[in-house]
Chain A
Amino acid sequence: MPAYLHPTTLAEAFESLGEGTETRYLAGGTDLIVQLRDGFIAPDALMDVKALPELQGIKTTEEALEIGAAASCGQLLASEHVGYGCTVLKQAASTLANSLLRNRATLIGNLCNASPGADMAPASLVLQGVLTTVSPGGGRTIELRDFFTGVKKHVLEPNELVTKISFPLTKGRGIYLKKRRIHGHDLAQVGVAGFHDTDGSFRLALGAVATTPLLLDDFGRLSTTELASQREEIVAEAVGAAKPISDIRASKEYRLAMVRLFTERIVDAFANETEVQR
Chain B
Amino acid sequence: MSEYHADSQEFRYIGKPVKRNDGPEKVSGTAQYAGDIVLSGMLHARLLTSPYAHARILSIDTCAAEALPGVRAVITGEHGSVKVGIYMQDKSVIATDTVRYQGEIVAAVAADTVEIAREAVSLIKVDYEPLEVLNDVRKAVEPDAMLLHPHLGTYAHSVGVFFPEPGSNIANHTRIRRGNLEEGFKQADLILENSFEQNQVLHVPLETHVTLVQWGVDDQIKIWSSGQSPFSVRDLFSIAFGIPRANIEVNIPFVGGGFGGKAGIHLEPLVALLSKAAGGRPVKLEPTREEECQTLPCRQGQVARIKTGCTRDGKIVAEQVEILWDAGAYADYGVNIGRASATSACGPYHIPNICVDAKTVYTNHLYGTAYRGFGHPEVFFAVERQRDLMARELGMDPTEFRLKNLLYPGDETITGELITENTGSPDKCLKRAIELIDAQTPYTEAEKEQMAATGKLRGKAAAVLQKAPAMPTWSASSALVQMNEDGSVRISVSGVDYGQGTYTILRQIAAERLKMPIEDVYINKSVITPLSPYDWQTVASRMTSICGMAVMEACDDLIKQIREIGAIALRAAAHEVEFDNAEVYVRQNPQYRIAFGKIAMGYIYENGNAVGGPLIGRGKAIAQGLSNLDEHTGQGKAALDWTYGAHAVEIEVELATGDIEVLQMATVIDAGRVMNEQLLHGQIVGGALQGLGCTFSEVLLHDDQGRLLTRNFTDYKIPTFKDMPRKMYTDVVETPQLDGPYGARGAGEHPLISVTSTVANALANATGLEFYDLPLSAWRVWTKLQEQQQKQQEVQE
Contacts and interface: CB of A to CB of B under 8 A. Distances in A.
Are chains A and B touching directly in their complex (CB below 8 angstroms)?
yes
A271 B721 CA distance: 35
A184 interface: yes
B722 A257 contact: no
Contacts of B720: 98, 182-185
A30 B70 CA distance: 31
A186 interface: yes
B709 A248 contact: yes
Interface string B694-732: 001100010000000110001101011111000000000
Contacts of A189: 779
Contact of A181 (B656, B701, B778): B778
B260 to A, nearest CB: 23
Contacts of A261: 656-657
A248 B714 CA distance: 11
B772 interface: no
A181 B717 contact: yes
A104 to B, nearest CB: 17
B696 to A, nearest CB: 7
B115 interface: yes
Interface residues of B, number: 24
A184 B714 CA distance: 12
B298 to A, nearest CB: 16
B657 A258 contact: yes
A182 B715 contact: no
B450 interface: no
Contact of A254 (B696, B710, B782): B782
B420 interface: no
Interface residues of A, number: 21
A52 interface: no
B440 interface: no
Chain A interface secondary structure, helix, strand, loop or mixed?
Answer: loop
Nearest to A187: B714
A145 B782 CA distance: 32
Given A181-B717, A182-B717, A251 B723 contact: no
Interface string A177-209: 001011111110100000000000000000000
Contacts of A254: 658, 779, 782-783
Contacts of A248: 701, 709-710, 715
Interface in B624-662: 656-658
B777 interface: yes
Given A184-B722, A254-B783, A249 B715 contact: yes
A251 B782 CA distance: 11
A182 B779 contact: no
Contact of A183 (B709, B723, B777): B723
Residue of A39, A98, A182, A251 with most chain B CB atoms under a 10 A cut-off:
A182
Contacts of B782: 254, 257
Interface string B334-346: 0000000000000
A181 B778 CA distance: 7
Contacts of B696: 182
Contacts of B115: 1
A251 B714 contact: no
Nearest to A255: B779
B697 A182 contact: yes
Nearest to A261: B656
A4 to B, nearest CB: 15
Interface in B767-787: 777-779, 782-783, 786
A181 B697 CA distance: 7
Nearest to B724: A183
A250 interface: yes
B701 A250 contact: no
Contact of B719 (A39, A184, A251, A258): A184
A187 to B, nearest CB: 7
Contacts of B783: 251, 253-254
Interface string A230-257: 0000000000000000001111011001
Residue of B658, B696, B721, B778 with most chain A CB atoms under a 10 A cut-off:
B778
7 contacts: A182-B719, A182-B720, A182-B722, A184-B721, A249-B715, A253-B786, A254-B658
